[in-house]
């Protein structure tokens, strides 16, 4: 007897739940063995020098465009050099220094990320590290470098001000245990459904 696919899947729901649970456990185990990283966030306000007759909306949009450019700049080798040269920070760069130039650039781009807060002239800097203090230090050195050296990339019509010093998360945020667990559950359910439907197809095909 040929079953409708949905009816067949409901009939085999215990098998599907078993596959979902199995994949979720595997995903969580893989996540747990990976290095757990904290995130420190800091905010920099981008201030565009206003010209007579320019409305506030245009000023904010101009600051957003500058912020988007700076978000790309923070991932470069040149800016990395400025960050590690910032005084007052004890930055652990041993792992980065052991990498090739290409791998180092990629790792730095993952360690420190920047994005513009929509509708504002605020650039948010997020630094990830397995050590809370290092996450704070890298975020702090990055925003200090932006304020002191950012003009080199955007010109003299823009000034920057730190409005929020780095604050670190209480718990690790990367990799995301909850998201990975749900992804494993979904993947297991999908895999189980494919197995059930393929078995029916072979049986009646």
Domain ranges of the chain: 5-34+176-204, 38-168
For residue 86, name the pLDDT band (cuts at 50, 70, 90).
very high
What is the DSSP secondary structure assignment for residue 168, as one 8-state letter? E
For residue 204, the model assigns a pLDDT of: 59
- Residue with the larger pLDDT of the pair 109 and 156: 109
Q: Which of 70-79, 130-139, 147-156, 192-201 has the least mean pLDDT?
A: 192-201
- Residue with the larger pLDDT of the pair 2 and 60: 60
Pick the CATH number of 38-168 from 3.40.50.720, 3.30.70.1130, 2.40.50.140, 3.40.50.360: 3.30.70.1130
From the list 94, 76, 68, 174, the residue with the least C-alpha distance to 128 is: 174
* Mean model confidence pLDDT for the chain: 88
Q: Which of 59-63, 97-101, 126-130, 175-179 has the least mean pLDDT?
A: 175-179
SS3 for 40? strand
Question: Token pair of 201, please?
Answer: 């197809």
What is the DSSP secondary structure assignment for residue 41, as one 8-state letter? E
| Rounded distance between C-alpha atoms, residue 84 and residue 162, angstroms | 18
For residue 52, the model assigns a pLDDT of: 58
37-57 per-position pLDDT tens digit: 999 999 999 988 766 556 777
Tally of CB atoms within 10 A around 33: 8
Q: Is residue 73 pLDDT above 90, yes or no?
A: yes
Place of tokens 């995301």: 176
Is the pTM above the cut of 0.85?
Answer: no
Q: Is residue 177 pLDDT above 80, yes or no?
A: no
| Rounded distance between C-alpha atoms, residue 80 and residue 105, angstroms | 9
| Rounded distance between C-alpha atoms, residue 189 and residue 171, angstroms | 29
Sheet of 112-116, strands arranged across: 112-116, 122-129, 38-48, 158-168
For residue 118, the model assigns a pLDDT of: 87
User: How much of the chain exceeds pLDDT 70, in percent?
Assistant: 94
Question: Token pair of 203, please?
Answer: 């049986």
Tally of CB atoms within 10 A around 20: 20
């Amino acid at each position: 007897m040929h079953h409708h696919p949905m009816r067949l899947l409901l009939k085999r729901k215990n098998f599907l739940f078993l596959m979902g649970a199995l994949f979720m456990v595997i995903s969580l185990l893989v996540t747990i063995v990976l290095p757990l990283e904290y995130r420190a966030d800091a905010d920099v306000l981008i201030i565009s020098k206003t010209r007579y007759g320019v409305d506030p909306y245009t000023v904010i949009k101009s600051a957003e465009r500058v912020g988007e450019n700076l978000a790309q700049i923070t991932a470069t080798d040149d800016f990395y050099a400025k960050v590690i040269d910032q005084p007052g920070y004890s930055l652990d760069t041993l792992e980065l220094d052991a990498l090739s130039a290409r791998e180092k650039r990629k790792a730095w781009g993952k360690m420190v990320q920047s994005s513009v807060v929509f509708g504002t002239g605020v650039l948010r800097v997020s630094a990830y590290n397995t050590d809370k203090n290092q996450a704070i230090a890298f975020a702090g050195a990055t925003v200090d470098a932006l304020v002191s050296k950012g003009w080199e990339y955007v010109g003299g019509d823009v000034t920057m001000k730190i409005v929020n010093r780095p604050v670190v998360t209480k718990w690790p945020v990367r990799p995301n245990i909850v998201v990975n667990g749900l992804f494993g559950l979904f993947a297991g359910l999908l895999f189980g459904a494919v197995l059930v439907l393929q078995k029916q197809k072979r049986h009646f095909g």
